[in-house]
Amino acid sequence: MVKEKLLVRLSGVAADILNELVRRGFFATRSEAIRMGILRLGEDFGFFKPSMHYWRELGEEIKRVGRRMTHGEIVEALGRLEQET
């Protein structure tokens, strides 16, 4: 996993929105809100699908197979789902 440390300068509406999100308790910190915003952008631009999508797809795969899947089969199915993005 790559880690990046960034200094972000915000002003105006962007800073106001960020502070309001934290003030209202949607996020514990401004850093957390920024991280979520980046993830949402990644989702919107199709870089990845949210985890709920993978669980739903995995459930459909289990129904399709018609039996319990082994750990290896689950890992393989998740790998296929990740490659679809």
Who has greater pLDDT, 15 or 56?
A: 15
Cα–Cα distance measured from residue 84 to residue 7, given in angstroms and rounded to the nearest whole number: 33
Q: Which residue has the higher pLDDT, 72 or 84?
A: 72
pTM, entire model:
0.60
31: nearest Cα among 6, 1, 64: 6
Q: Are 30 and 24 in contact (CB under 8 A)?
A: no
Q: Does residue 32 have a pLDDT over 70?
A: yes
57 CB contacts (<8 Å, ≥6 apart)?
77, 81
- Predicted confidence (pLDDT) per residue in 2-16, tens digit: 788 989 999 999 999
Closest CA to 61 of 48, 80, 47, 46: 80
Query: What is the percentage of the chain residues whose pLDDT exceeds 70?
Result: 91
User: Mean pLDDT over residues 23-32, rounded?
Assistant: 90
